[in-house]
Structure 1
Amino acid sequence: MIRRKSKNIRKRMKRLRSDMQEISREQGKIKEGQRQVREKFEAVESECELLRKETNIIMQQSMSTQLRLAFMFQILKARENHDLDQAAKLTSALRELIARENQQKETM
């Protein structure tokens, strides 16, 4: 009877060791999966930040283009109304705007 109990205990211990090894392997797989998810998440975050920066640049360029077009339209209206003095002032302002934008581009 004691041998039988001893044999049963050994079987249980062997099964427990086997179960523990399986659990350990599964935990390793889980950790690896978590690492991969973390890396993918960081890559997505990095790409989002890059897209935000590119979007801001595009918005600034769009605003700049709209401003230049507004100046050009005002210049055309002034010339149409034979207000050459106003047209000259607007042309000068447009040149200054373009010069400032070019300086900003050079410093980037």
Structure 2
Amino acid sequence: MAPSRRMRQQALKPKMNNNVRVRLQVKRVKAEMGKIREDQQRIREEQSKIRRRSGEIESQLDLLKKETEMIIKQTASTQIKLLLMFKILKARAGGYFTEAARLTYFLREYVVKERANASSVAVKKKHP
């Protein structure tokens, strides 16, 4: 006797259920892959932002180093000038006027040289 129609439909149901399950699993996997792609894209964008920010920080660090170096040089120069002024005052108070005149001349020359260096630096900045 040939299988009845009902038997054939029952035999097809488990296959259809398996197909439906497989399709649902494929849909879930595709949805998860889509989410993963989005997450990876967000990660790439954040990495790019971090790289840019890192470059900005490095350039700021270089600028701060240059400024710090300049401040150190200015401080040293100021200390030299203060020392000379103090020695001039001491020499005058002690009555050593020739020593005071020599130190005054040296201080004047130092300031002229310092201003000349500052001018040349300003010119270099204007015309690289």
| TM-score (ref. length: structure 2) | 0.77
Could you say which residue in structure 2 is the equivalent of 1:61?
Answer: 74
Identity among equivalent positions (%) equals 35
Please, which of 115, 122, 127 is the counterpart of residue 102 of structure 1? 115
Could you say which residue in structure 2 is the equivalent of 1:17?
Answer: 30
The CA RMSD over aligned residues, in Å, is: 1.4
| TM-score (ref. length: structure 1) | 0.89
Please, which of 89, 98, 101 is the counterpart of residue 85 of structure 1? 98
Q: What is the alpha-carbon distance in structure 1 between the residues aligned to residue 108 and residue 23 of structure 2?
A: 92
Could you say which residue in structure 2 is the equivalent of 1:43?
Answer: 56
| Structure 1 residue runs without a partner (length 5+) | none
Q: Spell out, residue by residue over 1:52-90, the C-alpha distance to the aligned partner (whole angstroms, 9 max, x if none).
A: 211211111111111001001111111112111111111
Q: What is the alpha-carbon distance in structure 2 between the residues aligned to residue 89 and residue 34 of structure 1?
A: 63
SS class of match (2:95): coil
| Rg larger in structure | 2
| Structure 2 residue runs without a partner (length 5+) | 1-13, 122-128
Higher RCO, 1 vs 2 (CA within 8 Å, ≥6 residues apart): 1
